[in-house]
Amino acid sequence: MAVSEFFDLFAQNILQTTLIEVIAVIFGLMSVWYSMRVNILVYPTGIVSVVIYVYICLIAGLYADMAINFIYFVMSVYGWYNWLRPAENKPQRPVRFATKKQNSIAAIAALISFFAINHILVHYTDSNVPAIDAFTTAVFIVGMWLMAEKKVENWIYWIIGDIVSIPLYFYKGLVMTSFQYTVFLVLAVLGFIAWKKEAKHA
């Protein structure tokens, strides 16, 4: 694809972006920003975004991503509660590095989730990107769990998923969402650095 064709497609997709997608993007960006700052507002802003994306992904045929946004909603409620739970005689749960056991569980969970979701997408949906959709879904599920547990390693999963999601959403014509994941990638790198620093001094 020529450079001029790329920008023509980009401009066309911008014009076709719906208001509801713009709202979802804004709240999604706010959520990641608050997460990077270890601010509890990550959850209410995130909930608004994921509820909208359940609808957007259904229309786009990204069924696994639709399901993951529902899972995000459930995990956001859990994370909201978990972040406010007193731990280690502190007013709120501190940022920590994951243990070897937790990292092993996360990796195994991501692998099992990928194969399970890919099987469902291939055999029970009309998705034309089942493997990629399953991969990002599996990675983000684990990232969401680690974030709810306030583990530094959650950012590694977000970074991997963001890198894959950028071209996926652009391919699906959701250019604003693709742009959102580009910003997510930058924030995820910054978040990893910030959380790593805080965990060392906690």
The mean per-residue pLDDT over the stretch 175-200 comes to 89
Cβ(148)–Cβ(75) below 8 Å: yes
Lowest pLDDT segment from 18-27, 33-42, 186-195: 18-27
Q: What is the CA radius of gyration of the chain?
A: 17
Residue 14 has pLDDT above 70, yes or no: no
Q: Is 94 left (phi over 0), alpha (psi -120 to 50) or beta?
A: beta
> Residue 161 — pLDDT band, cuts 50, 70, 90?
very high
State the pLDDT at residue 52: 92
| Domain assignment of residue 8, given as a range | 3-201
What is the total count of domains within the chain?
1
Residue 95 has pLDDT above 80, yes or no: yes
The count of C-alpha atoms lying within 13 angstroms of the C-alpha of 138, restricted to the half-sphere facing its C-beta, is: 23
Place of tokens 């709120």: 92
Q: What is the DSSP string of 101-113?
A: HHHHHHHHHHHHH
Cβ(35)–Cβ(16) below 8 Å: no
Residue 172 has pLDDT above 70, yes or no: yes
State the pLDDT at residue 102: 96
The mean per-residue pLDDT over the stretch 188-199 comes to 94
The mean per-residue pLDDT over the stretch 124-131 comes to 84
> Residue 157 — pLDDT band, cuts 50, 70, 90?
very high
* This prediction's pTM: 0.82
